[in-house]
């Protein structure tokens, strides 16, 4: 089976992991809409580039005409036509494609027209946490809802990345056959578990990761950490990520008297982030709205118990001994959860937690779940 994967955020590790998972059950052609080409241009298609190391990976220059809704629609149509031309070149050189698979947001702009123009069925994966309707990430307006509804109605299948996201889509009355396939993790990128032995008064190293944005709840996490540290001076917090809230969070750290016990590490690449996780004791997040929370999965794969809010896939990851969850925006409950997990670290089997994450969310496991979805679109004869 040959699948054309239209990326949403090309280059991000979690997005690349979707391509790798699909590649375990299908031949994948990757299409990445970009602002400017970084790959050598295709002969005759100056708006597209192809990777010389991977001839089935393309970039397509997307247009951004946003002075009016009409010009925006024209830009989307031009971009979709460019993608179709690249798909046509790929089919002519390497054989026909069987399925389109895209990840929103770009899917809503390009996929329905591409499906009609190419005659191919399409699958869309939904990642947007806005469907929960939290004030920090409100539900899209009516035009976006109508556009997404049309996208879902025309799809062969809709994939939600967590049970809670599927339930949110159903609660909003969104059409389509929604199935759950979680975000995958490339276990080959994970570091080995370090040999660890704890002494009772050793620092308890808490790690958190994500954009410094309102929906991530770092104000709540800092308040909870301050309350917990007042009762357990072993606690330390390291926050990985960058964003516009950095000055506010730095001021909050100062005001709460946490200078020297909370570190804002800024952006780290994946390898450095995973190294931090592998040498921490637990992972914490106070996010208000997540579609999944890939960093929590990566933390579990590094053997960390979770202290998290009940959103996205966090309840699923923390279930059955994986950690503790609390309601969002409850710093007192989060503080108690931090204290509880810090006091009971010895009861968590890091190797078992790591194996659980790697086995349940590795590329092959998620690839098999993707294959089940692909079979529903009538492509089972192409699958291994």
Residue 287 reports pLDDT greater than 70: yes
- Give the residue among 356, 354, 223 at the shortest CA–CA distance from 284: 223
Mean pLDDT value across the chain: 92
Residues 292-329: tens digit of each pLDDT:
999 999 999 999 999 999 999 999 999 999 999 999 99
Question: Which residues have C-beta within 8 Å of that of residue 12, sequence separation ≥ 6?
Answer: none
Confidence of residue 104 (pLDDT cuts 50, 70, 90): confident
**Amino acid 109: pLDDT:** 74
Q: Whole-angstrom Cα distance, residue 325 to residue 329?
A: 12
Render pLDDT for 116-131 as a digit per residue (tens, 0 to 9): 999 999 999 999 888 8
Angle at 184 between CA 181 and CA 188, to 5 degrees: 155
Dump pLDDT digits (tens) for 138-172. Answer: 777 888 788 888 889 999 999 999 999 999 999 88
pTM of the model: 0.92
Position 382 scores a pLDDT of 47
The per-residue pLDDT for range 7-35, each reduced to its tens digit, is: 988 888 999 999 999 999 999 999 999 99
- Tens-digit pLDDT profile for residues 247-278: 999 999 999 999 999 999 999 999 999 999 99
- d(CA 242, CA 282) in angstroms, rounded, equals 20
**Encoded tokens for 238:** 């390291």
Give φ, ψ of 206 to 5 degrees: -100, 135
Binned at pLDDT 50, 70 and 90, residue 381 comes out as: very low
State how far the Cα of 201 lies from the Cα of 190, in Å rounded to an integer.
Answer: 29
Residue-level pLDDT at 356: 97
pLDDT at residue 9, rounded to an integer: 81
Give pLDDT, residue 70: 63
* 3-state secondary structure (DSSP) of residue 170: helix
Which pLDDT score is estimated for 345? 96
pLDDT of residue 194: 85
DSSP labels for 29-43?
EEEEEESS--SPEET
**Domains along the chain with CATH numbers:** 2-184+362-382 (3.40.50.2000), 187-360 (3.40.50.2000)
Q: At what angle do helices 363-374 and 350-361 cross, to 10 degrees?
A: 30
Q: What's the rounded Cα separation, in Å, for the pair 293 and 310?
A: 11
Q: What is the DSSP letter of 321?
A: T
| Residue 39 CB neighbour total at 10 angstroms | 17
pLDDT band at 232 (very low <50, low <70, confident <90, very high): very high
């Amino acid at each position: 089976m040959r699948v054309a994967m239209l990326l949403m955020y090309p280059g991000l590790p979690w997005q690349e992991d979707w391509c790798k998972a699909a590649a375990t059950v299908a031949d994948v052609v990757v299409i990445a809409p970009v602002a400017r080409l970084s790959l050598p241009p295709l002969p005759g298609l100056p708006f597209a580039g192809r990777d010389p190391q991977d001839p089935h990976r393309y970039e397509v220059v997307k247009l951004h005409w946003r002075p009016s809704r009409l010009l925006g629609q024209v830009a989307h149509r031009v971009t979709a036509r460019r993608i179709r031309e690249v798909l046509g070149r790929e089919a002519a050189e390497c054989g026909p494609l069987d399925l389109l698979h895209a990840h929103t947001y770009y899917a809503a702009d390009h996929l329905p027209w591409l499906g009609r123009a190419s005659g191919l069925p399409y699958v869309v994966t939904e990642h947007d946490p806005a469907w929960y309707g939290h004030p920090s990430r409100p539900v899209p307006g009516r035009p976006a809802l109508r556009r997404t509804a049309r996208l879902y109605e025309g799809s062969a299948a809709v994939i939600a990345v967590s049970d809670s996201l599927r339930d949110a889509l159903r609660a909003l009355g969104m059409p389509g056959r929604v199935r759950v396939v979680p975000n995958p993790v490339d276990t080959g990128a994970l570091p080995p578990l370090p040999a660890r032995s704890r002494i009772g008064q050793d620092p308890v190293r808490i790690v958190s990761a994500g954009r410094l944005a309102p929906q991530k709840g770092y104000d709540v996490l800092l308040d909870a950490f301050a309350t917990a540290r007042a009762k357990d001076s072993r606690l330390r917090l390291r926050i990985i990520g960058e964003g516009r809230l950095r000055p506010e969070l730095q001021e909050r750290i100062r005001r709460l008297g946490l200078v020297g016990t909370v570190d804002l590490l800024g952006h780290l690449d994946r390898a450095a982030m995973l190294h931090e996780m592998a040498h921490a004791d637990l992972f914490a997040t106070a996010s208000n709205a997540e579609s999944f929370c890939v960093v929590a999965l990566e933390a579990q794969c590094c053997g960390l118990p979770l202290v998290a809010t009940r959103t996205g896939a966090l309840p699923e990851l923390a279930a059955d001994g994986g950690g503790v969850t609390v309601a969002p925006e409850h710093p007192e409950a989060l503080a108690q959860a931090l204290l509880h997990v810090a006091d009971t670290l010895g009861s968590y089997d890091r190797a078992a937690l790591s194996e659980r994450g790697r086995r349940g969310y590795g590329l092959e496991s998620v690839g098999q779940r993707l294959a089940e979805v692909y079979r529903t679109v009538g492509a089972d004869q192409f699958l291994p």
